[in-house]
Chains A and B, each alone.
Chain A
Amino acid sequence: MVVPKICGLETEYGITHRGAEESNPITASSLLINAYLSGLQHAPGSPIARVEWDFEDEMPGRDARGVGGGDIGYEPETHLVNAVLTNGSRYYVDHAHPEISGPECADARSAVVWDRAADVIAQRSMEAARALLPEGQELVVYKNNSDGKGNSYGCHENYLMDRATPFGRIVHGATPHFVTRQIFCGAGKVGTEAAGLERFSVPFQLSQRADFFEEEVGLETTLKRPIVNTRDEPHADARHYRRLHVIVGDANLAEVATFLKVGTTALVLALVEHDLFPDDLALAAPVQAIRAVSCDLSLRRPLRLADGTSATALDLQWELLERCAKYCHDVGTEAVGGAVADEVLARWETVLTQLETEPLSPATTVDWVAKYRLLDAYRSRNGCDWNDSRLQALDLQYHDLRPERSVADRLSLERLVDAEEVRWATENPPPDTRAYFRGRCLQQFASHVVAANWDSVVFDLGGETLRRVPMMEPARGTRQHVASLFDECPTPADLIGRLQQ
Chain B
Amino acid sequence: MAERERIQKASRPSSEQEPATEAHSGSPSGEKLKAELDDLLDEIDEVLETNAEEFVNSYIQKGGQ
Contact = CB atoms under 8 A, between A and B. Distances in A.
Interface of A: 12, 14-16, 25, 94-97, 145-149, 151-154, 156, 221-222, 247, 302, 304-305, 308-311, 315, 318-319, 322, 346, 349-350, 353-354, 356-358, 361-364, 373-374, 377-378, 381, 389-390, 392-394, 396-397, 404-405, 407, 410-412
Given A349-B12, A353-B20, A396-B55, A310 B2 contact: yes
Contacts of A356: 20
Q: Which of B48, B49, B53, B65 has the most CB of A within 10 A?
A: B65
Contact of B64 (A12, A16, A319): A12
Contacts of B63: 25, 95-97, 151, 153, 222
Contact of A14 (B30, B37, B58, B61): B61
Contact of B19 (A156, A309, A353, A381): A353
Nearest to A221: B65
Interface residues of B, number: 40
Contacts, number: 145
A222 B63 CA distance: 8
17 contacts: A97-B61, A148-B59, A305-B4, A310-B2, A322-B8, A349-B12, A350-B16, A353-B16, A363-B23, A374-B44, A389-B52, A389-B55, A392-B56, A393-B55, A405-B47, A410-B47, A411-B40
A412 B62 contact: no
B19 to A, nearest CB: 5
B65 A357 contact: no
Given A25-B63, A397-B48, A308 B2 contact: yes
A402 to B, nearest CB: 10
A390 B51 CA distance: 9
Given A12-B64, A25-B63, 8 more contacts: A319-B7, A322-B8, A353-B16, A377-B37, A390-B52, A410-B44, A411-B40, A412-B36
A148 B3 CA distance: 36
Interface string B1-18: 111101111001000110
A397 B49 contact: yes
Nearest to A14: B61
B32 to A, nearest CB: 9
A151 B23 contact: no
A315 B6 contact: yes
A378 B41 CA distance: 7
Contact of B59 (A16, A358, A412): A16
Nearest to B32: A412
Given A389-B56, A412-B33, A151 B62 contact: yes
B48 A390 contact: yes
A153 B30 CA distance: 34
A310 B65 contact: no
A96 B63 CA distance: 5
A148 B1 CA distance: 36
A309 B24 contact: no
Nearest to A155: B65
List 6 tightest A-B contacts by C-beta distance, closest first.
A153-B64, A96-B63, A393-B52, A389-B53, A353-B20, A311-B4
Contacts of A221: 65
A295 B51 CA distance: 29
Contact of B65 (A94, A146, A308, A309): A94
Contacts of A318: 6-7, 9
Given A149-B60, A151-B61, A354-B19, A361 B24 contact: yes
Contacts of A148: 56, 59
Contact of A154 (B6, B36, B64): B64
Given A393-B52, A396-B59, A405-B49, A309 B64 contact: no
Contacts of A146: 61
Contacts of B60: 147, 149, 151
A356 B24 CA distance: 12
A14 B63 CA distance: 11
A222 B49 contact: no
Contacts of B36: 412
Contacts of A373: 37
B52 A392 contact: yes
A346 B18 CA distance: 12
B31 to A, nearest CB: 12
The residue among B47, B53, B61 with the most chain A CB atoms within 10 A of its own CB is B61
A362 B36 CA distance: 15
Nearest to B8: A322
Contact of A374 (B4, B8, B37, B65): B37
A96 B52 contact: no
Contacts of B30: 361
Contacts of B7: 315, 318-319, 322
A322 B10 CA distance: 12
Contacts of A353: 16-17, 19-20
A393 B48 contact: yes
Given A151-B61, A410-B40, A350 B1 contact: no
